[in-house]
A and B are shown apart, each in its own frame.
Chain A
Amino acid sequence: MANQPSIVVEGLTKDYGDFRALDGISFKVEPGEIVGFLGPNGAGKTTTMKILTCFMAANSGSAKVVGKDVYQESEAVRRSIGYLPENVPLYEDMLVYDYLMFVAQVRGIEGAKREDAIRRVVKLTGLESVVNRDIYELSKGFRQRVGLAQAIIHEPDVVILDEPTSGLDPNQILEIRDVITEIGREKTVIFSTHILQEVSAVCDRIIVINHGKIVADGTFEELSDQVAESARGLVVEVESDTDMSAKFATLDDVTDVLRDGKTYRVLTRKESDVRKRLVALAAAEGIDLVSLRTYQPDLEETFRALTGGKGSVSSNDEEE
């Protein structure tokens, strides 16, 4: 059983009335991976997570967590996952300690081990100073930590986190990120986010979802290459202010030239040849080239290219 994938999703489809939230998505996650779900609002990230955590059923397709079907063996699946929903629902009127104790009980941790489990997650998530406070008194950052603590208290094989860093300040984001990395040392972690830096900082792998479909799946480098492949070209910086677009466009294999001040993006069909000819052209025209490099999209460009530029990279994703 050691090498079976943690999560196998096949052809998952979910409709909310007329709206198709998920359109036949399939993916696999191996044990120990940290996977980032990236996508614009309403892309289907939360829906996927709700199905994986047995809260909702899909219209068609199957999902297996640690080899167990979410529908057939729901209870076994629920035993092996930890889940932090979006907006972090907590029982406001309970003490942090009492809440964690309740979760430990319901999660089926044996009586004698509950104290230890609580102590362990409190330390891991840095909750020491608020253990005896009411949950409604807590700041957003601490609430988020309590949410994380309840998700890992029973040492689940798979941890599913829905936007664990949304609404936090930059310091808190870094702290939560550290906790996620820490959890990810032993567990399979899936988390959704629309903060781009986060996925490249934390994840082994990124799955980009858009309009209920998986549009890309791989490491950040792979995704970036994939985008670079479709929009291959050169980035040329020159010294003079004169518009060179027309001249660059006359070169063979150049499909388009985009100008931004002294920087040009030369889109090409094949890159290696163009580079030499472009240098030759520049020399012939007497223009000094400041720099010349192959275009490599950054995170934001990758994200925009993959999601068709429609991604809003802020606010909450509210489905249903």
Chain B
Amino acid sequence: MQNIMFIWKREIASYFNSVVAFTVVDLFLLITGALFWLSFFSEINVLTMRGFFNQAPLFLAFFAPAITMGLIATEKRSGTLQLLMTMPVTEWQIVVGKFLAACTLLAVMFGCTLMYPLTLDRLGDLDWGATMAGYIGMMLLGGSYCAIGIMASSFTKDQVVSILVAFFLCFGLYLVDQLAGQPTGGVAYAFQYASTSYHFQNIARGVIDVRDVVYYLSLIVVCLYIARTVIASRRW
């Protein structure tokens, strides 16, 4: 448990030391903020965060992998992972520590957008329930993308390959129900269930359903398990 915290702390320190993390956070805030506010005033009717929660997930599919791309890949390339693995730390602790660090950065990033609902609240009556549900959904979605990103990062020594693989997977999962065309019956349900956006929209509507939460948590666990196994495979 303590080891997870040590690894988390190291990654956090390295995030706040690095240009990459700042660039990613700034760009995300800039793009989503601009898109939200520009359209907000042109078609103002109800005070709601829906516009933000509609656009942000798509950008998250790119920005979350940008946060996680180097987490394992650079350590593999520089050899520090090798050294870390000869210390009394388990692969789970390494992977989970890094995952939590990425989630922390996401939380900070989302925290910066809390200005939007606070501003809206001053203009009138904002539905805080739906807004908070939206943020919880963003965190679950972002966490899943981070887990996918860490998995992709464990596959390679190359950050570029890592981000592209992760981006492909995140984007694919986001759009899978729309790409599938117009299937019916069980197939439609399966595609819908696999889609991250479907579950996100459920939550963003303000209904936190156990099924949606379970979907995200299992996605996270599966991806982290694969990452852990890939790292540990050196040992046998």
Interface residues, chain A, CB within 8 Å of chain B?
A: 50, 53-57, 74-75, 78-79, 81, 83, 85, 87, 89-94, 98, 102-103, 105-108, 150
Contacts and interface: CB of A to CB of B under 8 A. Distances in A.
A36 B178 CA distance: 63
Nearest to A83: B86
A54 B78 CA distance: 18
Nearest to B77: A89
A85 B81 CA distance: 11
Given A56-B235, A106-B6, A83 B13 contact: no
A108 B88 CA distance: 8
A75 B6 CA distance: 17
20 contacts: A50-B82, A55-B85, A56-B234, A57-B235, A78-B86, A78-B88, A81-B86, A83-B83, A85-B79, A89-B79, A89-B80, A89-B83, A91-B10, A92-B78, A93-B14, A93-B18, A105-B6, A106-B88, A108-B88, A150-B83
Given A79-B88, A81-B86, A89-B80, A74 B235 contact: yes
Contacts of A94: 10, 13-14
A106 B235 CA distance: 19
Contact of A78 (B6, B17, B80, B87): B87
Contacts of A78: 86-88
A85 B82 contact: yes
A197 B87 CA distance: 31
Contact of A91 (B14, B234, B236): B14
Contacts of B17: 93
A151 to B, nearest CB: 9
Given A55-B86, A74-B235, 18 more contacts: A54-B235, A55-B85, A55-B235, A56-B235, A57-B235, A75-B88, A78-B87, A85-B79, A85-B82, A90-B80, A91-B10, A91-B14, A93-B17, A94-B14, A102-B6, A102-B10, A106-B7, A107-B88
Nearest to B2: A105
A23 B84 CA distance: 27
B3 interface: yes
Interface string B61-84: 000000000000000001110111
A107 B83 CA distance: 12
B207 interface: no
A4 B69 CA distance: 45
B210 to A, nearest CB: 36
A55 B234 contact: yes
B232 to A, nearest CB: 11
Contacts of A108: 88
Contacts of A93: 14, 17-18
Interface string B1-41: 01100110010011001100000000000000000000000
Contacts of A53: 86
Contact of A57 (B3, B80, B82, B236): B236
A50 B2 CA distance: 26
Nearest to A84: B83
A51 to B, nearest CB: 10
A87 B18 contact: no
Given A78-B86, A106-B88, A91 B235 contact: no
Contacts of A56: 234-235
Contacts of B14: 91, 93-94
A90 B2 CA distance: 22
A106 B78 contact: no
Nearest to B89: A106
Given A55-B235, A85-B82, A89-B82, A103 B87 contact: yes
Contacts of A85: 79, 82-83
Contacts of A75: 88, 90
Contacts of A150: 83
A225 B35 CA distance: 81
Given A55-B85, A78-B87, A106 B3 contact: yes
Contacts of A98: 13
A91 B80 contact: yes
A234 B56 CA distance: 85
A120 to B, nearest CB: 18
Contacts of B89: 106
A87 B79 contact: yes
Counting chain B CB atoms within 10 Å of each CB, the highest count among A74, A87, A89, A94 belongs to A89
A83 B87 CA distance: 9
A55 B2 CA distance: 22
Q: Which 5 A-B pairs have the closest CB atoms?
A: A89-B79, A53-B86, A105-B6, A89-B80, A78-B88
